[in-house]
Amino acid sequence: MDNINNALLEKLNRFTRREHTADEVYIFSVTLCDNDIDRDFERFSLEALNDMKTLFIGRTGIFDHNAKGINQTARIFDTELVTDSSRKNALGEEYVSLKGYAYMIRTDSNADLIREIDGGIKKEVSVSCAVKSQICSVCGADIKKKPCCHIKGKEYGGKTCFVTLDGVSDAYEWSFVAVPAQKNAGVTKYFSGQALSENSAKSYEEKLAEKNAVIDLCREDICSEITRLAFLAGSDFSPETFKMLTDRMTLAELISLKKQFRCSAKGFSPKPMLYEDNRETEKAVGSYRI
């Protein structure tokens, strides 16, 4: 940033032990995040961006979310929300981004980094913060408190599922990264405040895939049981009709429907000679409410 005026220096010097002159500092601006859907099928709400506008002032810039003091390289001293009326996000709303103004003290050791920033090599960044809510776009559930069965990136009724991040309670740091999740900002968002290595990120994806596989198996089992119980209860609906209905229901709705048909089918379902109490099975199915 060529024009370092007194107003910028005054804001910057709030974070220094002594006043620095324009020749001593290097100032640059950076887009931290925005309200568009990123590659992880997540987005920040406008309220979340407003929260971060205040919380990111004074936060340090590091590399790859590696929270070691040696990685500290810059600090944000001012922020602003920037609205681009000529541009829309994936939802058709005005595109809004959070812009930060960061500074570095010019030294011999960071001269190469400054040249890389000016040359567009060090460019992409990612934010690390804590959010209170993660809202599913399909059913409106806060999946941080009560996870639903919808999977980010999959289509439901012709619309792709995504999660809106809301209620930012803390901002930890921002990092220079190589591969951004947000096309205009950074690679990923770490809500625990802890840096994730490539291996741990992979482990998270594997666990998520395993959880989704369990949910799919649970849904299949419950839907099959609903069809059987409906037949015992004397329902006239065909299996195809039940499949069409159950495919649109959440896991919680399916479990509730199963219980209703179980009650209705009690008078129609004789116990076999080797009768097995199904109460434990019900508990096992209920444990998949994740």
- The pLDDT tens digits for 66-117 are 888 888 999 999 999 999 999 999 999 999 999 999 999 999 999 999 999 8
**Do residues 31 and 97 share a domain?**
yes
Residue 160's CB is within 10 A of a number of other CB atoms, namely 14
pLDDT at residue number 275: 42
Please give the residue that has the higher pLDDT: either 174 or 273: 174
pLDDT band at 57 (very low <50, low <70, confident <90, very high): very high
- Both tokens of 200, joined, read 């741990």
Same domain, 123 and 47: yes
Give the model's confidence band at 26: pLDDT under 50 very low, under 70 low, under 90 confident, else very high. very high
Query: CA-based Rg of the chain, rounded to a whole angstrom?
Result: 26
- Please say whether the beta carbons of 234 and 267 come within 8 A: no
Number of domains in the chain: 2
Is residue 10 situated within a structural domain? yes
Query: Is 151 within a domain?
Result: no
**Domain for residue 273, yes or no?**
yes
* Pair 242, 192 in one domain: no
Q: Is residue 276 over pLDDT 60?
A: no
* H helices, E strands: number in the chain: 7, 9
Which among 204, 83, 219 is positioned nearest to 149, based on CA atoms?
219
Full domain range(s) for residue 229: 206-286
**Poorest-pLDDT segment among 1-15, 91-105, 108-122, 229-243:** 229-243
pLDDT beyond 50 at 256: yes
Q: Are residues 228 and 175 in the same domain?
A: no
Would the pLDDT of 135 be above 90? yes
* Amino acid code (one letter) for 188: T
In a domain, 157, yes or no: no
Residue 10 DSSP SS3: helix
Q: Are residues 186 and 47 in the same domain?
A: yes
Identify the helix (H) or strand (E) that includes residue 25: strand 25-34
Q: Are residues 35 and 175 in the same domain?
A: yes
- Confidence at residue 222, expressed as pLDDT on a 0 to 100 scale: 81
User: 239 and 179 share a domain?
Assistant: no
In the prediction, which pLDDT does 185 show? 61
163 within a domain of the structure (yes/no): no
Q: Judge whether 160 lies within some domain.
A: no
**What pLDDT does residue 67 have?**
85
**Averaged pLDDT for residues 219-234:** 76
Least confident residue range of 75-89, 140-154, 172-186: 172-186
Distances (CA, A) of 124 to 30, 60, 140, 256: 9, 15, 31, 47
The pLDDT of residue 208: 56
Higher-pLDDT residue of 30, 247 = 30
| Spatial CA neighbour of 100 closest among 24, 175, 36 | 175
Judge whether residue 40 has pLDDT over 60.
yes
Cβ contact 147:290 at 8 Å: yes
Q: What is the DSSP letter of 272?
A: P
- State whether 191 and 71 are in the same domain: yes
Q: Is residue 75 located within the same domain as residue 189? A: yes
For residues 226 and 242, is the Cβ–Cβ distance under 8 A? yes
